[in-house]
Amino acid sequence: MEKLDRSKLWGLEAYAGERPAFRRQVIAHKRHRRVRLNAHAALYFEDFLTMKYQVQEMLRVERIFEPAEIEAEIEAYNPLIPDGSNWKATFMIEYPDVEQRRLALEQLKDVEHRVWAQVGEGDRVFATANEDLDRSNEDKTAAVHFLRFELSAEQVDALRQAVCLRFGIDHPAMASEAEVGGEVRDSLLRDFG
């Protein structure tokens, strides 16, 4: 899979001109990269385009132009681009009310280890969570986690044969699942080349 390097990024001045059109492109692209698991949890699947946008925005906001600092941003975000045998997703627990979110995060301890994908009627593939750093403690989980779903070659082949694709959460405080089809499924399948 394609990874970011400096040659694939715009400099700050060039990005200022490209940004409006690029932003519209990324917003349209992201519509087909989200899986709503329930009213309070969603998976936002990352890829080259979403990470390019993230890096470009970080460089813009922080006014980063030094080569070493640009490389540091690329190094931070490249691991969130799928490798050809997996999906990488940002898992978000979303409660607009601060107190309700605080209480939910206390009840959802370890939820990030209970998020799964299922291809057809096969075994559930539980995500590997937060490979960069732990985002939870003994009292609560975090509202944002980075997940990797590693699929076998057989599972990818089955997906190409149009078997059912589901994602879900197997946690007593937030059990849910969602079947994925249409343009979202097509977009996720492209992560496997």
- Using DSSP's 3-state secondary structure scheme, residue 5 falls into coil
| Residues 103, 56 share a domain | no
| Residues 103, 117 share a domain | yes
d(CA 72, CA 78): 10
Alpha helices, H only, the chain: 12-30, 48-62, 67-77, 98-107, 153-160, 182-189
| Residues 90, 61 share a domain | no
| Residues 105, 146 share a domain | yes
| Residues 53, 42 share a domain | no
8 A C-beta contact, residue 163 and residue 117: no
At 29, list the tokens.
């692209």
| Residues 90, 76 share a domain | no
pLDDT recorded at residue 106 = 95
| Residues 11, 91 share a domain | no
Number of separate domains in the chain: 2
CA 90 to chain centre: 3
Domain of residue 117: give its range: 37-46+82-193
pLDDT recorded at residue 126 = 98
Q: What is the mean pLDDT of the chain?
A: 95
Where residue 163 sits, what CATH number does that domain have? 2.60.40
CA distance between the termini of the chain: 7
For residue 122, the 8-state DSSP code is S
| Residues 1, 73 share a domain | yes
| Residues 98, 173 share a domain | yes
d(CA 61, CA 110): 33
8 A C-beta contact, residue 36 and residue 83: no
d(CA 13, CA 167): 41
Nearest to 90 by CA among 130, 132, 134, 55: 130
pLDDT recorded at residue 136 = 76
- Model confidence over 92-147: pLDDT tens digits? 999 999 999 999 999 999 999 999 999 999 999 999 998 876 777 788 999 999 99
Report pTM.
0.92
8 A C-beta contact, residue 112 and residue 146: no
Q: In which band, very low, low, confident or very high, does the pLDDT at 150 lie, cut at 50, 70 and 90? A: very high
| Residues 125, 97 share a domain | yes
| Residues 168, 137 share a domain | yes
| Residues 89, 56 share a domain | no
d(CA 44, CA 87): 10
For residue 113, the 8-state DSSP code is G
At 15, give phi and psi (nearest 5°): -65, -35
